[in-house]
């Protein structure tokens, strides 16, 4: 690595962000399987996209079809999966995008490690805090049933712990309220911190 030097190009993040009319960030949706991370992130991306913002959604299952298809579900492989996602997200934020990621990411250490790669204010942790009992009732992939039977080892929330964030920027329980109000709360936050201009959202409504 001693012979590898980062090349600073003439077009930087600030220039890309100005062209897009937004301030790039990474929204990191974390929570149990079935908590509603992907649904919430997808609905937010749709609202931003329809208002003309430049976004990209990184989803836990989707990245395992390509970027991380060589990885399993051991502790080491799950760590590497998140490391790769963090690096890709960093490149996308540098490209001026509003990036949304939906991953269980069960440990604070994993999430903090990704946060440390970003300047202050560019990593927004969204804790999707839907209770385990609700997640089990939903069980969209049938994983909780298999985990309870012992067919899946190291399953977060059953045989492996989930460490809830201590100071997430936002906390949303998808079992309370509707999806529209939850997306509105996210948009209000992004507007308040200057990531997006609410006038564009109003114009697109």
Q: Report the candidate in 154, 175, 156 with the shortest Cα–Cα distance to residue 164.
A: 156
Is 35 annotated as belonging to a binding site?
A: yes
Is 153 annotated as belonging to a binding site?
A: no
Is 167 annotated as belonging to a binding site?
A: no
Is 36 annotated as belonging to a binding site?
A: yes
H helix intervals, 11-107:
13-20, 37-50, 60-63, 75-94
Tell me which of 105, 153, 199, 204 is the catalytic residue: 105
- 105 among known catalytic residues: yes
Q: How far is CA 141 from the centre of its chain?
A: 19
Is 157 annotated as belonging to a binding site?
A: no
Backbone φ and ψ of 154, nearest 5°: 50, 45
Is 52 annotated as belonging to a binding site?
A: no
Backbone φ and ψ of 110, nearest 5°: -60, -50
Binding positions for ATP are 31-38
Binding positions are 31-38
Annotated active-site positions, please? Answer: 105
């Amino acid at each position: 690595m001693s012979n590898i030097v980062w090349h600073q190009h003439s077009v930087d993040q600030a220039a890309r962000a100005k062209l897009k009319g937004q301030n790039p960030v990474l929204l990191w949706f974390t929570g149990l399987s079935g908590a509603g991370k992907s649904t919430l992130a997808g609905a937010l991306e749709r609202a931003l996209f329809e208002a003309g913002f430049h976004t990209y959604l990184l989803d836990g299952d989707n990245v395992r079809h390509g970027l991380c298809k060589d990885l399993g579900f051991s502790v080491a492989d799950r760590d590497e999966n998140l490391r790769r996602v963090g690096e890709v997200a960093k490149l996308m934020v540098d490209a001026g995008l509003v990036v949304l990621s939906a991953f269980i990411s069960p440990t604070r250490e994993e999430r903090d490690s990704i946060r440390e790669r970003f300047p202050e204010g560019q990593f927004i942790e969204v804790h999707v805090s839907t209770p385990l009992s609700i997640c089990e009732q939903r069980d969209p992939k049938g994983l909780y049933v298999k985990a309870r039977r012992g067919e899946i080892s190291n399953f977060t929330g059953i045989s492996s712990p989930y460490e809830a964030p201590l100071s997430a920027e936002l906390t949303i329980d998808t079992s309370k309220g509707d999806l529209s109000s939850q997306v509105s709360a996210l948009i209000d936050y992004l507007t308040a911190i200057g990531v997006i201009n609410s006038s564009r959202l109003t114009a697109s409504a």
